[in-house]
Amino acid sequence: MRDPIGEVPPGYVVHRVADVWLILDRNETPDLMRLRLADPAVRKTLFARGPRRGRGTTPSVALRHDLRVVLRRYRHGGLLGWLTGSLYVGTSRAAEELSVTAAAEALDAPVPHALCVVLWPVFGPFWSAMIGTREEPNASELLGVLHSLKDVKARRILIAEVADAVRRLHDAGVDHRDLQLRNLLVVPNSGGRRIVAVDLDKAVFHGSGGLSSSVRANNLGRLHRSAVKNGLAGSRIGPRELAIFASAYTRGDRELRAELRGWTRRERIKLALHQLRYRFSSSLTQPADSPLRPA
C-alpha cells in the first residue's frame, strides 16, 4: 500500500501494523504501541466504554501512572453526519489536525499535546481515523465553569484569562473555526490555572502573526454565539464582561481594536440571526418553566 501519510511534524514517527498507520510521539512510542490501537477489537472496546463528548465518545487510557491519553474518533457533524459517519476521503483531516496542533504547540499556543494519530482504510478511497491527546488532569469545560461560578469578580478574572489565551492562540496563527465554550478547558495547576483550546480538527494554521482581523472576528463571534446558545448571555456574560474580554484580548492595541470594531456590524447580524433561531428552537423544545425558554 502506498504511504498515505506524507511528511509528519518533527518529533513524530510513523509505524505501520498490517493496513493501519500510526503517527506516534517519538518519546512515547513504546507505551503507545502497547495500547494496541491498530487492533480493531481494542478500538471497539475502548470507544464502547468511553464518556460521551460532542459527536462521540472520548475514552481516556493510561500510558503510565503520570500520563493518560484521550482518544477522539473523527466523525462528521451536520445534516449528513448520520450518513457519512466516520468515513473520510483520504487521510488529510487527521494529518492536518496533527500538523496544526504541533505547529501551534511549538509557538507556545494554549493547545493540547498530540500523542498519536491512528488511520485505517475502510473501503475504496474512504478512511477512518482517531487522534490521541495528552489528558489535562482535572480539566473542566469552560461552559460548566461559567455556569457554576457565582462570584462576579472571580468570573470576570476568568473571562480575562480566557481572552488572553484566545489572543495567544490567534497570535500563533491558529484559526480554530469551532471556537466555542465546550472547546475551551480550564486546567488547574500549581501556579493557578491554564486555558487550553481543544478539538482542532477544523483548525487552519496561518503561521505566527498571520491571522487577519476578519478571521479573529469570526472566531470571537463564534465564541459569543456559543455563550448565547448556552444561556450565558446576560446572566453570566453581560456588557461589562464583554468589555473585559475585549480589553484583555486587544491588550491596549488600538489598531487591532479598531479593526475588530470594523467587523462588528457583520458579527451583530450573525448574532441576531443566531438569537432568532435559538429562541425559536427553544420555544419549541423547552418546557414552559425552563429558564432557557424566552419570555
* Tens-level pLDDT at each residue, the chain (295 residues): 567 888 999 999 999 999 999 999 999 999 999 999 999 999 999 988 766 665 568 999 999 999 999 999 998 876 656 667 788 999 999 999 999 999 999 999 999 999 999 999 999 999 999 999 999 999 999 999 999 999 999 999 999 999 999 999 999 999 999 999 999 999 998 889 999 999 999 999 998 677 999 999 999 999 998 998 898 988 789 999 999 999 999 999 999 999 998 877 676 776 666 566 655 555 443 433 322 333 2
CA distance 176 to 190: 28
pLDDT at 228 (0 to 100): 87
Whole-angstrom Cα distance, residue 59 to residue 71?
6
Of 163, 167, 187, 169, nearest to 107 (Cα)? Answer: 169
The pLDDT of residue 79 is 62
Q: According to the model, what pLDDT value does residue 236 have?
A: 86
pLDDT at residue number 293: 31
- Residue 270 CA to residue 274 CA, distance in Å, equals 6
Going by the DSSP 8-state scheme, the letter that residue 78 receives in this structure is S
Four-CA torsion 208, 184, 45, 27, nearest 10 degrees: 40
- Give the angle subtended at the CA of 194 by the CAs of 188 and 200, to the nearest 5°: 120
Which of 41, 75, 47 is CA-nearest to residue 61?
A: 47
Residue 28: predicted pLDDT: 98
The sign of the torsion formed by the CA atoms of 182, 188, 193, 198 equals negative
Task: Dihedral sign for Cα 56, 75, 162, 133, please.
Answer: positive
pLDDT at 80: 59
Of the candidates 161, 231, 232, the one whose C-alpha atom is nearest the C-alpha of residue 197 is 161
pLDDT at 291: 29
CB atoms within 10 A of CB 259: 16
pLDDT given for residue 292 in this prediction: 30
Rounded Cα gap, residues 206 and 210, in angstroms: 5
Cell 472566531 sits at which residue?
A: 219
* Chain centre to alpha carbon of residue 237: 21
Contacts of 187 (CB under 8 A, 6+ apart): 136, 137, 138, 139, 193, 194, 195, 196
